[in-house]
Amino acid sequence: MGSNIAMDARLDIHAWGFWEPQRAALFDVGVFHPNADCYRDKELDQIYRNHENEKRRLYSRITLNIEQGILHP
């Protein structure tokens, strides 16, 4: 499975100048229940890392396109 390349794929928040002037900051909000049965055998930092890696994998192409100026805020 690769990047999310659907035409309607987007991140939740696109903030201009959030970290640096004249630079885009991209955020995707996710919610999970750390006490769910599926996370029973995992440490909290591992759960966060897994979610972060999945988001990066799904949205890497769209974030690169935004940074290259293909998509506009």
Structural tokens at position 64? 């690169």
DSSP 39: G
Residue 27 covered by a domain: yes
As a whole number of Å, the CA-based R_g of the chain is: 15
Q: Is residue 7 part of a domain?
A: no
Q: What domain range is 59 assigned to? A: 13-67
Query: What would the pLDDT profile of 7-53 be if each residue is shown by its tens digit?
Result: 555 667 778 888 888 887 877 777 889 999 999 999 999 999 998 88
Q: Which of 66, 21, 30 lies closest to 50 in space, CA to CA?
A: 30
Give domain status of residue 28, yes or no: yes
Question: CB neighbours of 18 closer than 8 A, spacing ≥ 6?
Answer: 25
- Into how many domains does the chain fold? 1
45 in a domain, yes or no? yes
**Mean pLDDT of the 43-66 span:** 82
The token duo for 11 is 């991140």
